[in-house]
Structure 1
Amino acid sequence: MMKIGIIKCGNIGLSPILDLMLDERADREDIDIVTTGSGPKLGPEQCEGATKMMIEQKPSLVLFISPNTALPGPKKARELLQSASIPSIIISDAPGKRAVDEIAEKKMGYFIITCDAMIGARRPFLDPTEMVFFNSDMIRVLAGTGVVKLIASAIEDVITALKDGQTPKLPQVVITWVKATTAANFGNPYAQNKAMAAFQACVAVADMNVDACFKTKGREDYMPKVGAAHELLRHAAKLVDEARELDKGMNKVYRAPHDTDGKLLSKMDFAAKPE
């Protein structure tokens, strides 16, 4: 069985589900998934510790996921993974675009998820409950816009190459609204329209929260901004719900489950067997 390593440092919307989306029924017979992490922090010390723990597991492939992978902590993790000669794919949000050239130079793969928005991390606003609401909405958008399907499919190509004894071509993708919603394979063009709108709304959410958290002083000024950003995300989540319902009404929901051997199957008719 091949060992797949997932390192989670800090958190973006995709972080809680990355391991689960590779083995959604927990019945794959071709891979085992091992996860290490640093919790909510991603400083150099935390990232180094989580990465060293993973290297000791000797995985065949590592997925490293964090916010802003251009920061010193994630950069330290990449240096360790490169030294260990482990094929690695870096997954990050829009600020991580600043590191893509360096990642490519290390011959690593990457996914930059431009809609995976920063949270409104202001103390008077963000408590544990608000944090969970935000992340649940964000996960819904990632699933409903096709981001999850795009990443799961690309990672499966890498795993298949490794199982076949080949040197895999690691994906290097900045995920846009077009790439994501194309991967979603909507059956109704109006569903894709709604998903594209949801994706771009979350790009705006990221910009709004960056402005509120790093560029705005004064509680009276930043509180409405983080509040508005979270409201916009909530509406984006509703849009992907509406998109899903449109496809349901036409019996055109595209499903791509993993078989026990890891192969991605597909189906669209509700009662059909995936093949």
Structure 2
Amino acid sequence: MSVEVPLIGSLTDVDAVDSNLSGIRVGVVTFPGSLDDRDALRAVRLAGGTGVALWHADHDLKDVDAVIIPGGFSYGDYLRAGAISRFAPLMEQITAAASGGSLPVLGICNGFQVLTEAHLLPGSMIKNNHLHFLCRDQRLAVENSTTAWTSSYSEGSEVVIPMKNQDGQFVADEHTLDELEGEGRVVFRYVGGNPNGSRRDIAGITNKHGNVVGLMPHPEHAVEAGFGPDSSAFGEVDVRGGVDGLGIFTSVLQKLVNK
């Protein structure tokens, strides 16, 4: 099997990858203004899967088994973040495949915004309450480990993942928030202070089927020793050695290979 080789650090995690995972194809959508599509593709490869580049204007999902909508500023965040991308031709295919619960979809940062605009997830993302762009390593609690994207974690565990956003405040009406809480659909919650004013410290949510997850911080920036956070929720690490985000990508690969 051919897997992506880390640029810095140990090969241990890559060597332990299940060889069957390479047959799982995870598509990453590129919009005009996407910034983290290449990072997401590399994260998939480091986890052992096969990353497939998808173009927003196409109508073909290329037989992928899962989809990631990456971070960035699609269409310059004009109108609202994610508001234009929601109408991309490929989003029609993604919405149709994901709404029934079959296609796993992960929206990261701008991708989370796109998923709310496409009504694959409830609520909305608005400007941070302090009205400043935010970039820092953020500690999160894993509230739901049963989704397609979180099964590699234990419920109640914590992770350290970078975040960078200006429209990162998750908002919804009280009824929707109560529903998310009552149905266990809050997937990640901010720990150690709320960085952007998100209601009930919510950092990530899922749909009722558990196949669609939106997450504001960037797990694809915490998958490779030497390029991750300076800390980890799982113990001491070297400088830039945090790889707590890798479990997001191994989760979906393991789920798909074992289904």
Q: Per the shorter chain, which TM-score range?
A: 0.3 to 0.5
The structure with more helix, counted as a fraction of residues: 1
Larger Rg: 1
Which TM-score applies when normalising by structure 2? 0.38
The TM-score with structure 1 as length reference comes to 0.36
